[in-house]
Amino acid sequence: MAREHIPSACPEPSSLPGPVRTCVGCRKRAAKNELVRVTVGSDAHGHPAVVPDPAATAPGRGAHLHPTMECYDLAVRRKAFGRALRVTTGLSSAPVGEYLGSADGTAPHPRSTDRDWSSSS
């Protein structure tokens, strides 16, 4: 008895160029180079946070996300970052939101603790 091939809604892995990853926000599969990798790091206060890793060089477990605020909002609402990164404690996802906001041209205001490197001291 031969199995009948049932077409899926997702593109075949061989039809996408290079490695394929799943977005933790919308759960759609895409080529790795179309997604932003995120990992567990620290926020400005030293608390555990989800941080962007656009170069994909940080060690440890990572998750992938489309670089859109829609997928970011879905991931936050579904609490997908903690599950994907296998972290049980509360994670702040603010650094990823700031990164995506600055990529959209709506950069957040610099914090007062940021140093102005343009002037020599």
Q: Report pLDDT digits (tens) over 38-61.
A: 999 988 888 999 999 999 999 999
Q: What DSSP designation does 97 have?
A: H
Average pLDDT, the chain: 81
Domain count, the chain: 1
Please, are residues 90 and 46 in contact by the beta-carbon 8 Å criterion? Answer: no
In sequence order, which residues have a C-beta less than 8 Å from that of residue 60 and are 6 or more positions away? 39, 40
| pLDDT computed for residue 118 by the predictor | 47
Q: Report pLDDT digits (tens) over 55-69.
A: 999 999 999 999 999
CATH number of domain containing 79: 3.30.1230.10
Higher pLDDT, 9 or 61: 61
Q: What is the pTM of this model?
A: 0.71
| pLDDT computed for residue 19 by the predictor | 93
Q: Which domain holds residue 73?
A: 19-103
